[in-house]
């Protein structure tokens, strides 16, 4: 049976809740990563290339994602994928 980590859930939950929100300011990006998958949102000041670069470095530890879906959703980008 895995050891219980009492502080892991609140931290993951905070990142997950932040990433679910698609209301970000124009120059803001929020990424949530967990066990090889990621999702997030970014304002329109970001380009898809900058989102890819941030995901590569911040969510995937420097490796290019194997799957990345970026969509312009009104006034924000939403993205998700796997590392």
Instruction: Give pLDDT tens digits for 24-70.
Output: 888 999 999 999 999 999 999 999 999 999 999 999 999 999 999 99
Specify the higher pLDDT residue, 34 or 2: 34
Average pLDDT on 12-24 reads 49
pTM of the model: 0.71
**CA distances (Å), origin 70, targets 11, 13, 23, 30:** 25, 23, 16, 13
Sequence length of the chain is 83
What pLDDT does 18 receive?
A: 44
């Amino acid at each position: 049976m895995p050891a219980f980590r009492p502080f892991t859930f609140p931290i993951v939950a905070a990142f997950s809740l932040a990433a679910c929100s698609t209301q970000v300011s124009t120059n803001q990006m929020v990424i949530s990563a967990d066990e090889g998958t990621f999702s997030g949102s970014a304002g329109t000041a970001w380009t898809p290339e900058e989102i890819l670069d941030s995901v590569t470095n911040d969510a995937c530890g420097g490796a290019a994602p194997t799957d990345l879906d970026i969509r312009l959703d009104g006034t924000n980008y939403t993205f998700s994928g796997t590392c």
